[in-house]
Chains A and B, each alone.
Chain A
């Protein structure tokens, strides 16, 4: 009896591993630091941009990618993001990030897509003041696209 149960447990674990390999997923790299340090006299500080990359695997159904911040940015500071679309999908262009999720890429079909470009731009108004070195976490989520 004990042997049968152990076999059943092993079978369940194997099934779990198989399912895990078949799950849609998204991963993203972190970009280089963004530092605002210049302005034209009379103008707002000059924004800075950087790029990173993301990969996405869709094993079933049609998916979309949403983006949001884990926590608000300091007042007067904005972070915008745009994601290159996988083949056949549609990028919704640039969006200003907030703690509310918003659609970035839609209609992603089954497939594995790698090294897609993420562009991030940091802007700050003078009212933001001097902002010490800081971190922001951008969350990309892969969800069903109805």
Chain B
């Protein structure tokens, strides 16, 4: 191929490539992330009253079943701990049991204290559920005497087994 014909080929190529370079597309770069989300909320205002006993036995346990919680976590390996804001009076025991979200495990009834948060549910991974039941029981020995009060129950989602 002579030098001149190569020149002409170059011109034609320039024309063809020009059409290709005007590709009718536009590209948009979208930056994104999903952060760790761990949310829990409880509903219900349980009230437990002990006011009876079988003669010769300790006072009869009171129960509350109309309570629930909701949880959202996109994390894996989460657990729910439960505690109260102030310890219970001497010889009065408050217990709670949380129904587990799918795939998780409930510890059953645990005794609530202020000083030591208890593992209520373990093995929670990537769940969004509502209407999970919370059951409470209240027990008192006769040595507790006559008492009244209220406690705030704190549920916390944490990393854990």
Question: A residues touching B (Cβ–Cβ < 8 Å)?
Answer: 1-2, 5-6, 8-9, 12-13, 15-17, 19-20, 23-31, 33-45, 52, 54, 63, 70, 77, 79, 118, 120, 122, 124-143
Is B70 on the interface with A (CB-CB < 8 A)?
Answer: yes
Report whether A52 and B15 are in contact in the complex, using a CB–CB cutoff of 8 Å: no
Contacts of B41 in A (CB 8 A): 40-42
The answer to whether B72 touches A19 (Cβ under 8 A) is no
Flag whether B135 is at the interface (Cβ < 8 A). no
Is there contact, CB below 8 Å, between A138 and B34? no
- Nearest CB on B from A79, distance (A): 7
Chain B positions within 8 Å of A, measured between CB atoms, are 4, 7-8, 10-12, 14-15, 18-19, 21-22, 24-37, 39-41, 69-76, 126-131
A8 to B7, CA, bound (A): 9
Rounded to whole angstroms, the CA-CA distance of A107 and B74 in the bound complex is 42
Minimum distance in angstroms from B129 CB to a CB of chain A: 6
Docked-complex contact A45 and B72, CB < 8 angstroms: yes
Bound complex: CA of A13 vs CA of B129, how far in Å? 66
A139 and B129: CB pair below 8 A?
Answer: no
In the complex the two chains form, is A42's CB within 8 Å of B28's CB?
no
A45/B4 in contact, CB under 8 A: no
Contact: B33 with A129, CB < 8 Å?
A: no
User: Residue A137 contacts which of B29, B37, B130 (CB distance < 8 angstroms)?
Assistant: B29
The answer to whether A25 and B32 have CB atoms under 8 Å apart is no
Kindly list chain B residues whose C-beta atoms are within 8 Å of the C-beta of A5: 4, 7-8
Among A8, A9, A77, the one with the most B-chain Cβ atoms within 10 Å of its Cβ is A9
Q: Which of the residues A9, A29, A40, A134 comes within 8 Å of B32, measured between beta carbons? A: A134
In the assembled complex, the Cα of A131 lies from the Cα of B75 at a distance in Å of 10
User: Given the interface contacts A1-B4, A13-B14, A126-B74, does A31 sit within 8 Å of B28 by beta carbon?
Assistant: yes
Q: Whose C-beta in chain A lies nearest to the C-beta of B24?
A: A142
Partner of A136, one of B7, B25, B32: B32
State how many angstroms separate the Cβ of B22 from the closest Cβ of chain A. 4
Whole-angstrom CA separation of A12 from B111 in the bound complex: 88
